[in-house]
Amino acid sequence: MDDKKKKQQPRTVENTRIMDETLVDPNDEEVKLDLKNDQLESHWDPNAERNPRVLITTSDNPHTRTIQLCRELKTILPKSEFRFRNRSAIKKIIKGCIERNYTDLIVINENRREPNGMLLVHLPDGPTARFRLSSVKLTDQIPHARRPPTFNRPELVLNHFETRLGQSIGRMFACLFPKLPKFKCQTVCTFHNQRDFIFFRYHHYDIDEKRGSVSLQECGPQMTLKLMSLQSGLFDPHGEYEWMLKRHEMQKSRKRFYV
């Protein structure tokens, strides 16, 4: 055998991915024009004075872990508020949020005392995304986790949101954070998309200028999100959907991804 023969690259799900026609080039002029006309563009308007203001709530009768997750999200998202739902309908909550100048609404749902879903609504015009939550770990469940600083403005890292659908979801996450992070806080939020599963992590990093080193420590919480649907406009069960996961039709191939 020829020793000089190059080693074959291992075949993985990622490098054998079926190319999706919705994969976009961020430098494409048509893509840039499309993004300028979407419902999220106002967040990046340099003349806009509207900073993110997020309301976090739950499904009715939430249990301890769901409440704690909401409180930890409140420490991560600048100028966010957590309020109990008190059996209010989603449409009524959205109306109240718009009247009070909130920019986004997060609703954490639960099943069997465990958080299992998240509804994200961008205000005042949408869009609305629904996610399934799994592998949720609160700060006290993560070994050696550091308590996150309060009133911070973290950096935001979005990885591998490469399709048109993925760009919309990434931009929705970006709308939850100020456009200019406060770097002195030294915290970073990461949304990492891999095989249509979005992994959320929150870290604190310390810079040692004398040694020229950086140490990274997880703060928590951590969770995995799976996009179930993206709806054009505000929440409406009978409204227009831009995308919806149809598992039996869309997950026949393990090599096709949508986000």
Task: Give 106's strand partners.
Answer: 56, 120
pLDDT at 3 exceeding the cut of 60: no
Q: Quick one: pLDDT band at residue 215, thresholds 50, 70, 90?
A: confident
Q: Quick one: pLDDT band at residue 18, thresholds 50, 70, 90?
A: low
pLDDT at 13 exceeding the cut of 60: no
Mean pLDDT of 60-74: 96
Distance CA 225, CA 238 (A): 23
Q: Quick one: pLDDT band at residue 93, thresholds 50, 70, 90?
A: very high
pLDDT at 2 exceeding the cut of 60: no
- Top pLDDT among 238 and 173 is at 173
Q: What is the pLDDT of residue 120?
A: 98
Residue 12 maps to a domain: no
Q: Please report which helix (H) or strand (E) contains residue 93, including its range.
A: helix 90-99
Residue 206 maps to a domain: yes
- Check which CATH number belongs to the domain holding 127 and give it: 3.40.50.10480
CB 76 within 8 A of CB 139: no
- Top pLDDT among 234 and 6 is at 234
Q: What is the pLDDT of residue 253?
A: 61
CB 189 within 8 A of CB 200: yes
Residue 256 maps to a domain: no
- How far the first Cα of the chain sits from its last, in Å, is 43
Residue 184 maps to a domain: yes
Residue 84 maps to a domain: yes
Q: What is the pLDDT of residue 246?
A: 82
Residue 196 maps to a domain: yes
Residue 30 maps to a domain: no
Q: What is the pLDDT of residue 27?
A: 64
Q: Please report which helix (H) or strand (E) contains residue 172, including its range.
A: helix 164-174
Distance CA 152, CA 205 (A): 13
| Tally of domains within the chain | 1
> Tokens in use for 214?
């950086």
pTM of model > 0.95: no
- Top pLDDT among 108 and 12 is at 108
CB count within 10 Å of CB 93 equals: 20
CB 128 within 8 A of CB 120: yes
Q: Quick one: pLDDT band at residue 150, thresholds 50, 70, 90?
A: low
pLDDT at 16 exceeding the cut of 60: no
pLDDT at 11 exceeding the cut of 80: no
Q: What is the pLDDT of residue 114?
A: 96
pLDDT at 74 exceeding the cut of 80: yes
Residue 41 maps to a domain: no
Report DSSP state, residue 77: S
Q: Quick one: pLDDT band at residue 213, thresholds 50, 70, 90?
A: confident
Mean pLDDT of 98-102: 96
Q: What is the pLDDT of residue 252?
A: 58
Give the structural domain span for 168: 51-250
Distance CA 177, CA 78 (A): 7
